[in-house]
C-alpha cells in the first residue's frame, strides 16, 4: 500500500465496524484503513506490514502485550476501557509512542484525537494528504466599502450553498470579529495560525489544517484573527501561498470575506476569480462605491473592477431572499 496505513483493532465487532465506517467517511486524511477483531490475526498482519498508526481498544491492547509482537509499531492510540494495569511498562514491549483516550466518547472526538496525535508526531506522517485532492479551485472574494451592508451574511450563505457542490472553506478577515462567538467556533486556532503553518513544512500542512478548521455543516470555516495586530501580519504573498496549499488540499471553493484590509489589499483582490461588492440604493453608499472604484483605477487595478459583480442587498430582509440572491449569483457565472 502506498498510502499511510491506519489499523483498527477491537474484539467488539459492532464497535469496530461502526468506527471503521465513521473514519472512512469523516477522517479526511489520506490513510488506508484496515480493521481487525482478532488480535492473533492482527499480530500476524503486523509482522509483514508497516503500520503508521494503530488505534486499538484497551482489551485488545492487553491481549497484544501478552505475547511480544515480532513486528513494531511506533504510534499507538489506545481506546481506554478503565482496565487495570494496561499502561504499565509499555516501552518494554517495543511500543515507543503511545497515547490514551476514552473509548466511550463521540466518534467525532476520536477523529479529533487521531488528528492531534498526527500533529504531535508530524515527522512520522510527512507527506500525508487529504482525500480526493484536486488542484483546480476558485477563489471568491467579498468586499464592499459600505459598512454593515450584509456582506458577511452573503459570503457565508455563498459558502453554505457552494459546499453542497464541492469542498468549500470560508476565511474571514475582520479584526475583533464576533464570528467566532456567533458560529460557535473553537478558539484554539485561527487564520494567523494557519498562515504560520503554511510557511513551515508544506508536507505537514494538511495535518494542521485538519486541526485548525471548524465544520459548520458541509462548510469548513477558519476562525478569524482576534486583533488588528494579527491582521497586519497578513499580506498578499503569504495569503497567496496559503491559497495554493488550500487548492492542493482539495478545496474547490475558497471564500474570502474581506471586511478589513490586510497588507497588499488590492493584490489580494487580484487573487480572486470574482469579487462580490454589496451595494445599496442610498446616494451616500453609491458615492462610497464610486470612490473605491476610482481608487482601483488610479492604482492600475482595472482588472479587479472587471472581475467585480455588484450585488444589491437593499431589499433582502429574510433568509429566503438571501438564498435566492446567492443561487442566482452561482447560476449566472456557472460557479
Residue pair 53/114 in contact by the 8 Å Cβ criterion: yes
Q: Can you read off the three cell numbers belonging to residue 57? A: 481498544
Q: DSSP state, 235?
A: B
pLDDT at 85 over 60: no
Q: DSSP state, 328?
A: H
Q: CATH fold of 5-125, please?
A: Rossmann fold (3.40.50)
Residue pair 80/100 in contact by the 8 Å Cβ criterion: yes
pLDDT in tens, 216-270: 999 999 999 888 888 888 999 999 999 999 988 889 999 999 988 888 999 999 9
What pLDDT, on the 0 to 100 scale, is given for residue 94? 53
Give the residue extent of every domain in the chain: 5-125, 138-333
Q: Can you read off the three cell numbers belonging to residue 43? A: 499480530
The CATH code that applies to domain 138-333 is: 3.40.50.300
DSSP per residue, 146-203: STTSSHHHHHHHHHHHHHTTS-EEEEEE-TT-SHHHHHT--SS--HHHHHHHHTS-GG
**Which stretches of the chain are DSSP H helices?**
13-26, 39-48, 58-66, 107-120, 151-163, 179-183, 191-198, 205-212, 228-232, 236-248, 265-270, 283-298, 302-306, 319-333
pLDDT in tens, 19-65: 999 999 888 888 889 999 999 999 889 888 888 899 999 999 988 88
CA distances from 290 to 156, 212, 259, 296, 333 (A): 25, 38, 18, 10, 24
Q: Can you read off the three cell numbers belonging to residue 305? A: 473592477
CA distances from 204 to 32, 85, 123, 207, 253 (A): 18, 35, 8, 6, 21
What pLDDT, on the 0 to 100 scale, is given for residue 151? 93
- What CA–CA distance (Å, rounded) separates 214 from 263? 25
Higher pLDDT, 122 or 130: 122
What pLDDT, on the 0 to 100 scale, is given for residue 30? 82
pLDDT in tens, 305-330: 999 999 988 766 778 889 999 999 99
Amino acid at each position: 500500500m502506498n498510502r499511510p496505513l491506519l489499523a483498527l483493532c477491537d474484539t467488539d465487532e459492532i464497535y469496530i465496524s461502526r468506527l471503521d465506517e465513521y473514519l472512512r467517511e469523516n477522517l479526511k486524511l489520506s490513510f488506508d484503513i484496515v480493521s481487525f477483531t482478532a488480535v492473533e490475526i492482527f499480530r500476524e498482519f503486523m509482522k509483514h506490514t508497516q503500520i503508521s498508526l494503530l488505534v486499538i481498544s484497551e482489551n485488545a491492547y492487553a491481549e497484544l502485550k501478552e505475547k511480544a509482537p515480532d513486528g513494531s509499531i511506533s504510534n499507538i492510540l489506545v481506546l481506554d476501557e478503565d482496565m487495570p494495569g494496561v499502561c504499565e511498562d509499555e516501552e518494554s514491549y517495543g511500543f515507543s509512542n503511545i497515547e490514551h483516550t476514552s473509548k466511550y466518547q463521540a466518534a467525532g472526538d476520536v477523529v479529533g484525537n487521531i488528528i492531534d496525535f498526527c500533529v504531535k508526531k508530524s515527522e512520522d506522517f510527512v507527506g500525508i494528504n487529504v482525500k480526493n485532492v484536486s488542484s483546480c479551485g476558485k477563489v471568491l472574494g467579498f468586499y464592499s466599502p459600505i459598512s454593515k451592508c450584509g456582506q458577511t451574511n452573503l459570503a457565508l450563505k455563498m459558502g453554505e450553498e457552494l459546499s453542497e457542490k464541492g469542498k468549500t472553506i470560508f476565511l474571514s478577515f475582520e479584526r475583533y470579529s464576533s464570528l467566532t462567538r456567533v458560529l460557535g467556533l473553537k478558539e484554539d486556532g485561527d487564520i494567523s495560525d494557519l498562515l504560520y503553518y503554511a510557511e513551515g513544512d508544506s508536507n505537514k500542512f494538511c495535518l494542521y489544517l485538519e486541526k485548525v478548521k471548524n465544520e459548520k455543516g458541509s462548510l469548513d470555516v477558519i476562525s478569524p484573527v482576534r486583533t488588528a495586530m494579527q491582521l497586519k501580519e497578513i499580506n498578499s504573498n503569504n495569503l497567496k501561498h496559503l491559497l495554493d496549499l488550500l487548492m492542493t488540499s482539495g478545496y474547490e471553493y475558497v471564500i474570502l470575506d474581506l471586511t478589513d484590509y490586510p497588507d497588499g489589499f488590492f493584490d489580494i483582490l487580484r487573487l480572486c476569480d470574482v469579487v462580490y461588492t454589496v451595494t445599496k440604493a442610498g446616494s451616500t453608499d453609491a458615492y462610497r462605491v464610486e470612490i473605491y472604484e476610482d481608487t482601483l483605477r488610479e492604482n492600475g487595478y482595472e482588472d479587479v473592477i472587471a472581475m467585480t459583480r455588484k450585488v444589491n442587498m437593499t431589499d433582502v430582509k429574510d433568509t429566503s431572499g438571501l438564498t435566492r440572491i446567492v443561487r442566482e449569483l452561482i447560476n449566472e457565472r456557472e460557479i
